[in-house]
Amino acid sequence: MSIFLVTCAGAGEYVKARNVTHYTKLQQVDVGDVEGHVILVYESKGVTTNLEGKWFCDGWAHHETGVMDINTKTGLGSGHGYGCQTDRDGNKFMWTWEGKAMKGGKFGTGYWEATWKAIKGTGKFEGIQAKGTVLGYSVGDEGYADWEGEVEFPR
């Protein structure tokens, strides 16, 4: 699950981007209360591409970890996690997400709707402010997430 949309109050810059990822770690534990109810802990890595608006995160490394509480039979659930985008110079933009799994996605599979917000930046991104929405899809070990919003860059 990797979706990243950015929206920020104030004089932020509009950004729309896509993370394409591969799950590098995925651990599933059956809850046992009803058929299909599982907890998933994951790590994913990939690349971000800028789609629209101010150039930001284009070609950057993407790393994300999270937890999903989901029913594999109904496709419904909730989750939260943390992500980090790293530019070519090693500067980082870190964020958190929280959302829910939905039925009937674009490809007839489930998808995630989430909100995200910046939690920290390093180097030239120290003091960054950002928040937004994200929409993500996963198919097997692969996934992508589209995100948009506004980012207020440090001065």
Nearest to 94 by CA among 56, 46, 53, 128: 128
Calculate ∠ Cα 20-24-27, nearest 5°.
Answer: 120
Q: Check residues 52 and 96 and name the one with the higher pLDDT.
A: 96
d(CA 11, CA 30): 46
The pLDDT of residue 28 is 93
Q: Are 46 and 21 in contact (CB under 8 A)?
A: yes
pTM of the model: 0.84
Q: Does domain 13-152 fall into CATH 2.40.160.20?
A: yes
**pLDDT at 109 exceeding the cut of 70:** no
Domain coordinates in residue numbering, the chain: 13-152
